[in-house]
Structure 1
């Protein structure tokens, strides 16, 4: 998902801060004619002129690039979030079979990794620009404003879903029944949503940085807790199916999966989704970020386009492992509560699997994810309503989001919502791909609209509208699974934009403007080289105290996993199982508190060493 991009060590800019950077770039570019700010393509050639440009409008300099380990951690943290509880359980409710899940999720996530590596990363590394800055350069203000409206809608829906997920844990404290309809059935639940939601809104308005830094620590803990939750509940599942708590072979796992988790029958008792649907969703779940190119914001910091392969940390550990673990936890909870998985929400599942830590995982994961996306929604909206402050715009957008969050259908329909969101932005990715990759290969001029001083790109707007009509038209005619609609829509948009751009001047040559652009690029590189010398290198924390604190934090995670393994493999009968679970619950909570306390201490120490690099 678009969640948890928030590490900040040394000179690493938090990804949510990158979103603000991108939108400030859009706003400053939009009003360049009425302000004294210089555009990155200004004809002035002095170093002072470049220095006056907002840094986010410039390509990322070489001294700001990061190694592959940074991106492994970034994607691992981002793609294990509260949504995994919802998506994992949804696969169960949709009636996927065990083999389809194991094989389909592997293939689909592998295709997603290739999409980042082949499409997103090369464009990001070659331009060193965010999508917002690049899009404005090739399509002007009108297209950018339309795209911001799309972002407002997408991020509001994701934020609302996560507020509902967090509220599902809080409702357990007040014995509020699970909300299983598309509308709320409890006035007290609405009050909980309003309370949780307004906290999210206030934090997004005023205190986002602290939460952003904190949620960057959640990645390793979330991975461990998802795995532990599956380990803790699996013996109960085994006992209900096999009559014993221990597995003797992998075949036992398949048997348990087929009979009690991924049965091949949906919640209505009908044949469920098949292998192709599972592959399609796993591929399409992050269409926004790879085919839609949102992750140019992150991968522009990569030293090589091969760093797109680092997304495997998120796809294989986050999606593959977490979705399977969430399915196991949902089915296990249903067995213990003698219920059906469709009658459970993330709060039920997490609490039964992890005890008090379950409250933490649902509240924190949902809360931090909602904050990140509500912050993005507010920034996108503020770039449209630029005469109003970001705080007021975020407050207004947040209030609407909280109202939406009162309706549980938002999180219960996450699969189609994410798929349609990807379909909405896939044409934009196609337009950028055509401009950057296709045009040079067919003799067209890249940045032709910019060279013509055009602030309104009719081909881009028409191609986006045409792509949406094509994609949603295919969906209305039901000619293919909607999980795959993004692919023909993306291709259609590339073809349509190429044809339209030719009519408006893309096939013409602009030697003078290109020479100026190349000259400007060299001047920016020279300026950034001087800047690198003056800034110096970030200070690395190699102190023994920080190493000891880090060791304690990671040891806490290791001990939590050991306790879960004990429940899984050293529970010969249900009596021993219940005893092991009784030990796991309180100690997992203690180790959770220990991990966050010491990990945040290390983060604080590292930040203190590099205050001179703070924005």
Structure 2
């Protein structure tokens, strides 16, 4: 019999300490290679095989894609490098504990629980993508992500569970193992995307470089949305590239990752993820999607199943399938890692590894729901719109409040259970921006046009671009309410004392 005590596996898991409630120590910091690898692997994701085709189906033009995505991704890189990373390396705390300092424990638990659920949905989308590749090899038909109501087969669900279990186990191992996995996977995944995109051009009629632009506008990014899809344009490409990760950069969620960085300049490592993943990979996956659709239509298929596994197999063969599997894993792993940390804030008596496994179970359920991928672009937009404000308050507390004569992290200073300025700024900005969008999109909100001032009734909100106004509105509400709160606090004190 083994001499290892029964509790040893639990003790080993408990030893995977991730500095959940205190700053990261100096001996645990990482350099450029780690963050370049992490961003390259996380943002060259399986979902690039979804977002690239979605742009094709929403009818963007070639100019919209090449120029709009370049502008949007540059803004995203600057947001990570100039807003998120500097605070991360100074404080070295997770976003959850920084939010606790300014918003109090009640709002932190609410934020963390909801944020964890959405992260599980996003990780589930990655697992769904990886599963399509494994299912392709196994001869199991994957659901078409263009049909939001299609139910996967039991065989497909079994494969998704197996893939999800692997992802969950890797996330349990913590930051160090995620970084190691990223370094192994990152170097060759961009090559597969690029090779698949280039190989697909011939089937679209590109025989020489001079043919590309005409074919791109005629057969790939045609400027005409497919039936049932909303028309996208230049602004959507800029907005999607910049704002799809706004919760992580302007919303500060990636202070959780950059707290391990040796210096703030490593925020520029995000360029490797943005321009390899959200630029090159989106463009190449769009090309692959168009080529697959043309080939299937020519073969007499009425509704081609454009799931990532089929697209990758058509364009890059088995190397493409391996890329899909790893691209899903390398994104699902850090996403689930973040979800585990978020759940732990809401369940402080649970071990991190146990919470991460619970998040993994939620992720696996999400992976088996086709609607998650069907509405992925809108989930990403709602995710940014709702969760970004509290992260924005970290930026304002750290850099702006001292210059305005306000006390930063006032909830911590006064030991408040919740901060009403943070609640007003967070929920107020989301409500205002959502209603401005919903009044023209959902019949139940049309009555708002009859009661709003004319200039607002005539304002037709673009949902992706609502996130930036939401940031500004949230900051304004939070700052004004903080002035009122702290002025009231001073009036309550005896003469000569200061809070």
TM-score (norm 1): 0.67
For the residues of structure 2 that align with 1:507 and 1:325, how far apart are their CA atoms?
57
1:264/1:439 Cα in 2 relative to 1: closer, same or farther (>3 Å)? same
Aligned to 1:526: none
Please say which of residues 348-357 and 371-380 is displaced more in the overlay.
Answer: 371-380
Counterparts of 2:252 and 2:178, CA distance in 1: 25
1:544-582 CA distance string (max 9 Å, x none): xxxxxxxxxxxxxxxxxxxxxxxxxxxxxxxxxxxxxxx
Cα-Cα RMSD: 2.9
Q: Distance in 2 between matches of 1:301 and 1:209?
A: 10
Question: What is the 5 A alignment of 1:439-450?
Answer: 439-450=401-412
1:361 corresponds, among 313, 319, 323, to 323
> Which residue in the other structure is 1:587 paired with?
none
- Match of residue 278, structure 1, among 234, 237, 253: 237
Matches within 5 A, 1:24-423: 24-25=20-21, 57-58=22-23, 61=26, 68=32, 70-180=34-144, 181-182=147-148, 183-205=150-172, 210=177, 213-238=180-205, 246-249=207-210, 252-268=211-227, 272-302=231-261, 305-338=264-297, 343-423=305-385
Which 10-residue stretch deviates more, 323-332 or 194-203? 194-203
Structure 1: gaps of 5 or more residues: 1-16, 26-56, 239-244, 510-615
Shift of 1:359: 1.9
Q: Aligned-pair distance for 1:293?
A: 0.5
1:505 is aligned to 2:486: yes
Matching of residue 438 in structure 1 with residue 397 in structure 2:
no
- When residues 164 and 103 of structure 1 are mapped into structure 2, their CA distance, relative to the original with a 3 A threshold, is same
Structure 1 residues 73 and 203 mapped into 2: Cα distance closer, same or farther (>3 Å)?
closer
Aligned-residue offset at 1:167: 1.4
Using the size of structure 2 for normalisation, the TM-score is: 0.82
- Contact 2:96–2:112 (8 Å) recurs in 1: no
Count of residues in Structure 1 that have an aligned counterpart in Structure 2? 452
Displacement, 1:290?
0.9
Distance across 2 between alignment mates of 1:287 and 1:205: 25
Q: Is the partner of 1:337 in helix, strand or coil?
A: helix
Q: Does the Cα contact within 8 Å between 1:334 and 1:340 map onto a contact in 2? A: no
Q: 1:467 aligns with which of 429, 432, 437?
A: 429
Question: Which residues of structure 2 form unaligned runs of 5+?
Answer: 1-13, 441-459, 491-499
Q: Is the Cα contact below 8 Å between 2:437 and 2:463 reproduced in 1?
A: yes
How far did 1:135 drift? Answer: 1.9
Deviates more, 1:184-193 or 1:433-442: 184-193
Q: Secondary structure at the match of 2:188?
A: helix
What secondary structure is seen at the aligned counterpart in 1 of 2:225? coil
Distance 2:480 2:96 in 1: 23
Cα distance in 2 for residues equivalent to 1:340 and 1:325: 24
Question: How big is the shift at 1:228?
Answer: 1.1
The answer to whether residue 402 in structure 2 is matched with residue 476 in structure 1 is no
Larger Rg: 1 or 2? 1
Report the CA distance shift for 1:342/1:450 in structure 2 as closer, same or farther (over 3 A): farther
CA contact (8 A) 1:151 1:380 kept: yes
**DSSP 3-state at the match of 2:223:** coil
Number of the residue aligned with 1:598:
none
Displacement, 1:225?
1.1
Which shows bigger deviation, 89-98 or 181-190? 181-190
Q: Distance in 1 between matches of 2:156 and 2:341?
A: 29
| 1:162–1:411 contact (8 Å) kept in structure 2 | no
CA displacement, residues 238-280 of structure 1 (integer Å, 9 cap, x when unaligned): 2xxxxxx52152xx21111112111111221878311111111
Given that residues 117 and 307 in structure 1 are in contact (C-alpha distance below 8 angstroms), is that contact kept between their aligned partners in structure 2? Answer: yes
CA spacing shift, 1:112–1:391, aligned 2, 3 Å: closer
In 2 relative to 1, CA 271–145 (structure 1 residues): closer, same or farther, beyond 3 Å?
closer
